[in-house]
Amino acid sequence: MTITDRTITAPEETLALPAGPTIAHRPLGVFTRPQGSEGWTSWLFTVDHKRIGIMYGAAALFFFLVGGAEALFIRLQLATPNGSVIGAGTYNGVFTMHGVTMVFLVIMPMAAAFANYLLPLQVGARDVAFPRLNAFSFWCFLAGGLLLTSSVLIGGWFQNAPDGGWFAYAPNTGLLFSPSKGIDFYAVGLQILGVASLVSAINLIVTVLNMRTKGMSFFRMPVLTWMLLITQFLLLFALPVITVALFLLMFDRLWDANFFNVEAGADPLLWQHLFWIFGHPEVYILILPAFGIVSEIIPTFARKPLFGYHFMVASGIAIGFMGWGVWAHHMFTSGVGPLSVAAFSVSTMFIAVPTGVKILNWLATMYRGRLRFTTPMLYAVGVVSMFTIGGLSGVTHSIAPSDTQQTDTYYIVAHFHYVIFGGALLGLFGGFYFWWPKAFGYKLSEAWGKASFWVMLIGFNFTFGPMHILGLQGMSRRIATYRGDEGFAFWNMVATIGAFVIAVGVAMFFWNVYVSTRNWRRAGRPDVGPDPWDARGLEWMTASPVPEHNFDEDIQVDRLDHFWHRKYGVDENHRVVRAAPTSEVAHDGSNTNVHLPSPSYWPIVLGGGILLVGYGIIYNLWLAAAGLVFLVASIYGWILEPADDPDAAGHHDDHDDGDDHGDPDSNGGPSGNGESASAEEPESESAETEEEAATIG
Partner 1 sequence: MADTMTSETTAAEAATHAEGHHTSTGISNEKLAMWVFLGSECLLFGGLISTYMFNKGRIGPDDVGPDDVFDIPFTSVSSFVLLMSSLTMVFAVSSIARGDLRGNRIWLATTAALGATFVAGQVYEFTAFYSEGLGFTTNLFGSAFYALTGFHGAHVTIGIIMLMSLYVMSVRGNLGPERAETVEIIGLYWHFVDIVWIVIFTIVYLFPQ
Partner 2 sequence: MSGRARGLVWLSSLLVIFGAIALIVVAIVVDKDHPLSTLSPVGRQGRDIAELINPIFIVAGVVFFLVQGAVLALWWRYRVAGSESGDGEFGYYDDDEFPEQTHGNNRLEIAWTIVPTVLLAVISVFTLVALFALDDVKASEDDLVVTVIGQQWWWEYQYHLDGDTSTPPDFVTANELVIPVGQDVALDIKSRDVIHSFWIPKLNGKRDAVPGRSHDWVIQAEEPGRFRGQCTEFCGLSHGYMKMVAVALPSDKFAQWKNNQRTAATAPEEGTDEAAGWETFETQCASCHVIVGLTTRGGKPDTWRIYGDASGGDAGGYLDAETLVAGAAPNLTHLMTRSTFAGSAFDLYLDAGEDIPYLNLADRGTLNRGELEAWIFNAPERKPADADDLRGMPARTGLSPDDIDNVVAFLSTLD
> Residue numbers of the site for partner 1 (CB under 8 A)?
7-9, 13-14, 16-24, 129-130, 198, 201-203, 205-206, 209-212, 216, 236-241, 243-245, 247-248, 251, 255-259, 261, 264-267, 270, 274, 277, 639, 675-679, 683-685, 687-688, 690-691, 694-695
Size of the site for partner 2 (CB under 8 A): 120
Return the residue of 232, 393, 591, 673 that touches partner 2, per CB under 8 A.
393
Rounded Cα–Cα distance for residues 644 and 495 (Å): 56
Given a contact cutoff of 8 angstroms between Cβ atoms, the answer to whether 228 and 119 are in contact is yes
End-to-end CA distance of the chain: 53
Q: Does residue 400 belong to the site contacting partner 2 (CB under 8 A)?
A: yes
Scanning 572-681, the segments in alpha helix (DSSP H) are 582-585, 602-619, 621-640
Binding partner 2 by CB under 8 A: which of 353, 633, 687, 694? 353
- Which of 314, 312, 315, 317 shows the shortest CA–CA distance to 295? 312
The piece of 153-161, 189-197, 396-404, 590-598 that touches partner 2 (CB under 8 A) is 396-404
What mask of x and - would describe binding to partner 2 in positions 421 to 460, judged by CB under 8 A?
Answer: ----------------------x--x---x---x--xx--
Nearer to partner 1, 14 or 180 (CB): 14
Three-state secondary structure of 200-252: HHHHHHHHHHHCCCCCCCHHHCCHHHHHHHHHHHHHHHHHHHHHHHHHHHHHH
Cβ contacts of 340-343, under 8 Å, gap ≥ 24: 341/400, 342/400
The site partner of 372 among partner 2, partner 1, none (C-beta below 5 to 8 Å per kind) is: partner 2
Contacting residue, 41, 84, 210, 396, with partner 2 by CB under 8 A: 396
Of the candidates 233, 207, 330, which has an alpha carbon nearest to the alpha carbon of residue 285?
Answer: 233
What is the nearest approach in angstroms of partner 2 to the Cβ of residue 120?
A: 25
Nearer to partner 1, 244 or 392 (CB): 244
In angstroms, what CA-CA distances link 204 with 145, 282, 444, 639? Answer: 21, 17, 28, 21
Residue 130 or 226: the one with the smaller Cβ distance to partner 2 is: 226
Quick check: 533 binds partner 2 (CB under 8 A)? yes
* Choices 120-128, 360-368, 610-618, 626-634; region in contact with partner 2 by CB under 8 A: 360-368
Radius of gyration of the chain measured on its C-alpha atoms: 25
Q: Applying CB under 8 A, does 84 fall inside the site for partner 2?
A: no
Tell me whether residue 131 or residue 505 sits nearer to partner 2 (CB atom). Answer: 505
Beta strands 576-578 and 568-570, pairing class: antiparallel
Quick one: 403 or 680, whose CB is closer to partner 2?
403
Selected from 576, 633, 687, 694, the binder of partner 2 by CB under 8 A is 576
Q: Among 81, 474, 608, 697, indicate the residue that binds partner 2 (CB under 8 A).
A: 474
688 binds, among partner 2, partner 1, none (CB under 5 to 8 A by kind): partner 1
Decide which of partner 1, partner 2, none touches 7; Cβ closer than 5 to 8 Å per partner kind.
partner 1
Burial of 682 (0-12, 13-18, 19+ CB in 10 A): buried
C-alpha span between 285 and 514 (Å, rounded): 30
Residue among 186, 31, 158 nearest 86 (CA): 158
Q: Determine if 335 is a binding residue for partner 2 (CB under 8 A).
A: yes
Binding of residue 188 to partner 2 (CB under 8 A): no
Which residues sit opposite 569 in a β-bridge? 577
Determine the Cα–Cα distance for residues 505 and 457; give it in Å rounded to an integer. 8
Which residue lies nearer to partner 2 by CB, 126 or 358? 358
Between 472 and 623, CB nearer to partner 2 = 472
Kindly state the smallest distance separating residue 553's Cβ from partner 2, in Å. Answer: 25
Site for partner 2 in 304-333 (CB under 8 A): 304-305, 307-311, 333
The item of partner 2, partner 1, none sharing an interface with residue 60, based on CB under 5 to 8 Å by kind, is: none
Burial of 454 (0-12, 13-18, 19+ CB in 10 A): middle
d(CA 506, CA 510): 7
Closest approach, Cβ 266 to partner 1, in A, equals 6
User: Is 578 near partner 2 (CB under 8 A)?
Assistant: yes
Among candidates 310, 309, 426, 298, which has minimal Cα distance to 366? 298
> How many whole angstroms separate alpha carbon 209 and alpha carbon 228?
12
491 binds, among partner 2, partner 1, none (CB under 5 to 8 A by kind): partner 2
Choice from 81, 240, 325, 356 touching partner 2 (CB under 8 A): 356
Nearer to partner 1, 152 or 248 (CB): 248
Query: Is the Cβ–Cβ distance between 383 and 427 less than 8 Å?
Result: yes
- In contact, 460 and 502? CB cutoff 8 Å: yes
Q: Which does 150 bind (CB under 5 to 8 A by kind): partner 2, partner 1, none?
A: none
Choose among partner 1, partner 2, none what residue 342 binds, the Cβ cut-off being 5 to 8 Å by kind: partner 2
Answer whether 92's CB lies under 8 Å from 151's CB: no
Stretch that binds partner 2, among 41-49, 51-59, 109-117, 475-483 (CB under 8 A): 475-483
Find which of partner 1, partner 2, none residue 443 binds, CB within 5 to 8 Å per kind: partner 2
Which residues, at least 6 apart from 40, have a Cβ–Cβ distance to it below 8 Å? none
Taking every pair of C-alpha atoms in the chain, what is the biggest distance, in angstroms? 81
Least distance in angstroms from the C-beta of 350 to partner 1: 24
Tell me the backbone φ, ψ of residue 106, rounded to 5 degrees: -120, -65
Q: What angle do CA 230, 232, 238 make, to 5 degrees?
A: 100
202 binds, among partner 2, partner 1, none (CB under 5 to 8 A by kind): partner 1
CB of 120 to partner 1, least distance (A): 13
The per-residue b/e assignment along 81-114, b for 16 or more CB within 10 angstroms, e otherwise, is: bebeebeeebbbbbbbbbbbbbbbbbbbbbbbbb
CB of 169 to partner 1, least distance (A): 16
> Does the protein bind partner 2 through residue 572 (CB under 8 A)?
no
Residue 291 or 533: the one with the smaller Cβ distance to partner 2 is 533
- Region binding partner 2 by CB under 8 A among candidate stretches 149-157, 302-310, 550-558, 620-628: 302-310
- Nearest C-alpha neighbor of 162 from the set 170, 151, 171: 151
Nearer to partner 1, 513 or 632 (CB): 632
CB of 556 to partner 2, least distance (A): 22
- Which one, 322 or 693, has the nearer CB to partner 1? 693
Residues of span 587-646 touching partner 2 by CB under 8 A: none
Q: Which of 418, 423, 419, 316 is nearest to 380 (CA)?
A: 423
Residue 408 is a binding residue for partner 2 (CB under 8 A): yes
Of 340 and 517, CB closest to partner 1? 340
* Residue 80 binds partner 2 (CB under 8 A): no
Distance CA 265, CA 120 (A): 50
